[in-house]
Chain A
C-alpha cells in the first residue's frame, strides 16, 4: 500500500491560493490519487482525483509530476469556509476494502 505524507497543518489568508503537497514515493503503476475535504463534525467530501499531469474541476486543481511520487492540491482564492482537513489517498487506499485515511492536513484560513 502506498504510504502518503502530508503537512500536519497550514495557515493561509482569504483570497490566497493554497497548495497542499502529498508525498507518495512508492505509488504503484495503477494507483490513482484522490483528495477529500472534511469539515468539523461532518463526513469527508470528495474533491478531486487524478492519475497523471493535471486535473481541474470547479473546486480545485490537482498537479501530478511525471514521476507521480508526489501530488499537489491547489485551492484558488481560499475563503474562511475552506478551513477544513484535507486528506490525500493513494492507490489501494482509495478503494472500498482498504480505504485508509491518514491524519490529513488541517488548513486554517484567516480573515
Chain B
C-alpha cells in the first residue's frame, strides 16, 4: 500500500542533532496525524492537523515540532532529543476527523536516539 509514505524508514541520531521526518499522503485527505509508538506500549497521538491547521497537541515536548505546509505533506522536526524518544513514529491521514473517518497509516520511521 502506498497511500501514505514516510521517509526515512530508519533514523539514528545523536541528542544534539536536528533531523526531520517526512510524511506524504496520496489519498486526497484533509486530516493528518503523528503518532509515537514506544516498545510494548500503545500508540500515542502526538499531533493532529485538519485542513493544514493544527487542532490537537497532546502535551508533546517542544523538542518535537510539526509542520503541515499543505494537505498532502506533514513533517516532524526533531531537535535535542532524548534516548527515551527512541520509538516508531507513525503518520496517518483521514478524510475528516469524525468517528467514521478511517485513518490510513504509513509504514513508520524507526527512530533511535543515541
Cα-based distance from A74 to B92 in the complex (angstroms): 25
* B98 (CB) vs chain A CBs: closest residue: A95
Is A46 interfacial (CB-CB < 8 Å)?
yes
**Contact: A104 with B103, CB < 8 Å?**
no
Report B19-42 residues with CB < 8 Å from chain A CB.
Answer: 31, 33, 42
**Contact: B97 with A97, CB < 8 Å?**
yes
Name the contact of B45 in the complex, choosing from A32, A45, A100 (C-beta under 8 A): A100
Name the contact of A41 in the complex, choosing from B4, B55, B97, B108 (C-beta under 8 A): B108
**Contact: B103 with A99, CB < 8 Å?**
yes
**Contact: A96 with B110, CB < 8 Å?**
no
Determine the main DSSP class of A at the interface with B: loop
Q: Contacts A92-B99, A97-B55, A97-B56 known; A103 to B105 CB distance under 8 Å? A: no
Cα-based distance from A99 to B55 in the complex (angstroms): 13
Q: Contacts A101-B42, A103-B42 known; A96 to B105 CB distance under 8 Å? A: no
Chain B residues in 8 Å Cβ range of A43: 4, 90-92, 105-108
Question: Which 5 A-B residue pairs are closest in the complex by CB-CB distance?
Answer: A96-B97, A43-B105, A95-B99, A101-B43, A94-B99
Is A15 interfacial (CB-CB < 8 Å)?
no
Query: What distance in Å separates the Cβ of B30 from its nearest Cβ neighbour in chain A?
Result: 10
Chain A residues in 8 Å Cβ range of B50: 96
Cα-based distance from A43 to B106 in the complex (angstroms): 6
Is B48 interfacial (CB-CB < 8 Å)?
yes
Name the contact of B105 in the complex, choosing from A45, A49, A97 (C-beta under 8 A): A45
Cα-based distance from A30 to B94 in the complex (angstroms): 20
Is B100 interfacial (CB-CB < 8 Å)?
yes
Query: What distance in Å separates the Cβ of B108 from its nearest Cβ neighbour in chain A?
Result: 6
Cα-based distance from A43 to B87 in the complex (angstroms): 13
Query: What distance in Å separates the Cβ of B3 from its nearest Cβ neighbour in chain A?
Result: 11
**Contact: A41 with B56, CB < 8 Å?**
no
